[in-house]
């Protein structure tokens, strides 16, 4: 293979801290990045605006938003108004788990990757902080890699797309440090499960707590924009 | 397990001949059927109306249409106006192949199945007539079954959803005979890749040809409604 040949990567970009870091690293490593955001009816549409800003900052060749009206099924605190977003960690699989979310997002990324002849799909799954989510675990990713090798034209000759999970085994603090290294502007990322329309964070939900602790442990100032000054970290 | 316990099945229902047969059989075998149609921007929206009619006829508990704006990516004669639907069989993977289509549809079905606590997902893939499509082959289905066991809450205890492919090894004539046995009204099904808004078939595309030959081989009168009388089979 020509070492100068373009490597195309579809990068799943939610607008959160993790996927922003994934995009920044992929771009810095010379990938031609095609950012895909999936709007599956999540409450925090501010994430999509954040994704646009991040895709532009890191020079994505394209940024596409795919809408899936999956929220008609409910079943998760992130898509169903009848289920409250929890304020504290829970045992087992959290109510913020969205059924089959990563399977759906990877399937959509696989379709675009095939059309683009992209060699890689990058996804910011993390098995440390999100061990409660089945579809963030290494076994799930391995199974999807196997499926990807059988699901597309590549099965009749050609190389299967590689599923790249650079954050899989990192702590939140390590992800933040890596993001800083690759120039992520974390003030533009939205992690909160119930951000307001402007993207301001609640400061109370699981995602906010994890993020805040990550900045503390990384010893990096938390640039998160919170809804109320009282919720700013000390 | 109580033998009288309800078995819930998510049935992928396109409005075509194959998936109508799958639904009719599942219902006849006592499944509580939850029909799912995926509108991924295909040209033949008449299929969705056909799916509604079929779901009602066979007593589906619910019929949901999930919209995914995947046609923005093009890449298939079925979703991209710039690619012509072929009139004759082609070597290799046909241009009517939609990248990752079955992966995306099974992923969506998996999500709904998890929310419903459904035990089964039924899909009318067929490896005989559609051997050119990677995602209609047995290896693909096996890989998805493995993925499904790791992708949902079931991984922490509980039974993985079963991916059921009752038509996998049948010829089109065998599928038609089975459909007749289970009471499918094939006049309401739409197979044509370029049906008009009323669901009338072109009579020329690969799907029309396969369907017509199927009725001939099954020695069953073809009830298909064609766009022009000249295109009716002899």
Is the minimum CB–CB distance between B145 and chain A shorter than 8 Å? no
How many domains are there within chain A? 1
Among A73, A110, A112, beta carbon nearest to B111: A73
Is the minimum CB–CB distance between A8 and chain B shorter than 8 Å? no
What pLDDT is stored for residue B128 in this prediction? 79
Q: d(Cα A107, Cα B70) in Å, to the nearest integer?
A: 11
Within a domain: A200: yes
pLDDT interval class at A3 (50, 70, 90): low
B114: tokens are: 């998890």
Q: What is the mean pLDDT of chain A?
A: 88
Lowest mean pLDDT among A37-46, A103-112, B124-133, B149-158: A37-46
Within a domain: A2: no
Helices B101-116 and A101-116, axial angle in degrees (round to 10): 170
Among A75, A102, A110, beta carbon nearest to B100: A110
Is the minimum CB–CB distance between A157 and chain B shorter than 8 Å? no
What pLDDT is stored for residue A91 in this prediction? 60
**For residue A76, is pLDDT > 90?**
no
What average pLDDT score do residues A180-199 get?
92
Q: State the CB neighbour count (10 A cutoff) for residue A151.
A: 30
Within a domain: B26: yes
Alpha helices in A68-200 (DSSP H): 101-116, 138-151, 172-181
Cβ-contact A26, A9 below 8 angstroms: yes
What average pLDDT score do residues A207-222 get?
94
What pLDDT is stored for residue B198 in this prediction? 87
Beta-carbon separation of A151 and B72 below 8 A: no
What pLDDT is stored for residue B40 in this prediction? 78
Contacts of B114 in chain A (CB under 8 A): 75, 99-100
Domain of A55 in residue numbering reads as 8-231
The mean pLDDT values, 10 residues at a time, for chain B of 234 residues are 80 95 98 94 77 97 93 72 64 71 95 94 88 86 95 81 97 96 96 87 89 95 85 51
Say whether B50 sits in a helix, a strand or coil.
helix
- The dihedral built from the CA positions of residue B185, B191, B195 and B201, taken in this order, carries a sign that is negative
Cβ-contact A136, A144 below 8 angstroms: no
What pLDDT is stored for residue B166 in this prediction? 98
A170: tokens are: 């990192």
Within a domain: B22: yes
A160: tokens are: 């299967």
Phi, psi dihedral angles at B10 (to 5 degrees): -85, 125
Q: d(Cα B118, Cα B111) in Å, to the nearest integer?
A: 10
What pLDDT is stored for residue A47 in this prediction? 86
Within a domain: A79: yes
What pLDDT is stored for residue B89 in this prediction? 59
**For residue A4, is pLDDT > 70?**
no
Say whether A107 sits in a helix, a strand or coil.
helix
Q: d(Cα B98, Cα B43) in Å, to the nearest integer?
A: 12
What pLDDT is stored for residue B214 in this prediction? 95
Q: State the CB neighbour count (10 A cutoff) for residue B29.
A: 12
Beta-carbon separation of A66 and B74 below 8 A: no
Within a domain: A1: no
What pLDDT is stored for residue B80 in this prediction? 65
B214: tokens are: 């199927």
Say whether B167 sits in a helix, a strand or coil.
coil
Q: d(Cα B225, Cα A140) in Å, to the nearest integer?
A: 45
Beta-carbon separation of A104 and B104 below 8 A: yes
Residue A214 belongs to domain with CATH number: 3.40.50.620
Within a domain: A182: yes
Among B93, B140, B146, beta carbon nearest to A151: B140
Task: Give B80→chain A minimum CA distance, Å.
Answer: 12
Q: d(Cα A100, Cα A133) in Å, to the nearest integer?
A: 10
Q: d(Cα A69, Cα A38) in Å, to the nearest integer?
A: 10
Q: d(Cα B166, Cα B20) in Å, to the nearest integer?
A: 12
> How much is the ipTM here?
0.89
Q: Tell me which residues of chain A, numbers 61 to 90, contact chain B at a CB-CB cutoff of 8 Å.
A: 64, 66-70, 72-75
Phi, psi dihedral angles at A11 (to 5 degrees): -115, 120
Task: Give A74→chain B minimum CA distance, Å.
Answer: 8
- Of B161, B39, B80, B210, nearest to A99 by C-alpha is B161
Contacts of B108 in chain A (CB under 8 A): 68, 70, 100, 104
Range picked from A177-191, A201-215, B64-78, B199-213 for highest mean pLDDT: A177-191
Within a domain: A204: yes
The CA distances from residue B63 to B6, B17, B57, B59, B112, in Å, are: 18, 17, 12, 10, 12
Is the minimum CB–CB distance between A150 and chain B shorter than 8 Å? yes
Contacts of B143 in chain A (CB under 8 A): 143, 146-147, 150-151
Task: Count the alpha carbons within 13 Å of A84 in the hemisphere toward its beta carbon.
Answer: 6
Cα–chain center distance at A43: 15
Say whether B62 sits in a helix, a strand or coil.
strand
Q: State the CB neighbour count (10 A cutoff) for residue B91.
A: 6
Lowest mean pLDDT among A22-26, A214-218, B4-8: B4-8
What pLDDT is stored for residue A228 in this prediction? 79
- The dihedral built from the CA positions of residue B68, A48, A111 and A102, taken in this order, carries a sign that is negative
B117: tokens are: 């606590």
């Amino acid at each position: 293979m020509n070492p100068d040949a373009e490597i195309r990567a579809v990068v799943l970009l939610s607008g959160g801290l993790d996927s922003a870091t994934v995009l920044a690293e992929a771009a810095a490593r010379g990938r031609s990045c095609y950012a895909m955001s999936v709007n599956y009816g999540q409450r925090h549409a501010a994430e999509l605006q954040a994704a646009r800003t991040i895709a532009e900052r890191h020079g994505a060749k394209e940024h596409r938003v795919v809408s899936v009206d999956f929220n008609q099924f409910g079943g998760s605190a992130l898509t169903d108004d009848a289920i409250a977003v929890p304020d504290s960690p829970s045992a087992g699989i959290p109510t913020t788990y969205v059924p089959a979310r990563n399977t759906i997002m990877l399937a959509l990324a696989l379709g675009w990757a095939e059309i683009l002849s992209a060699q890689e799909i990058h996804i910011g799954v993390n098995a440390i902080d999100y061990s409660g989510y089945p579809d963030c675990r290494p076994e799930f990713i391995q199974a999807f890699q196997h499926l990807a090798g059988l699901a597309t034209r590549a099965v009749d000759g050609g190389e299967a797309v590689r599923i790249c999970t650079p954050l899989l085994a990192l702590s939140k603090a390590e992800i933040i440090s890596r993001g800083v290294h690759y120039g992520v502007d974390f003030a533009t990322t939205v992690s909160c499960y119930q951000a307001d329309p402007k993207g301001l964070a609640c400061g109370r939900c699981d995602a906010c707590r994890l993020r805040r602790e990550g900045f503390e442990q990384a010893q990096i100032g938390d640039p998160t924009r919170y809804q109320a000054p009282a919720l700013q970290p000390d």
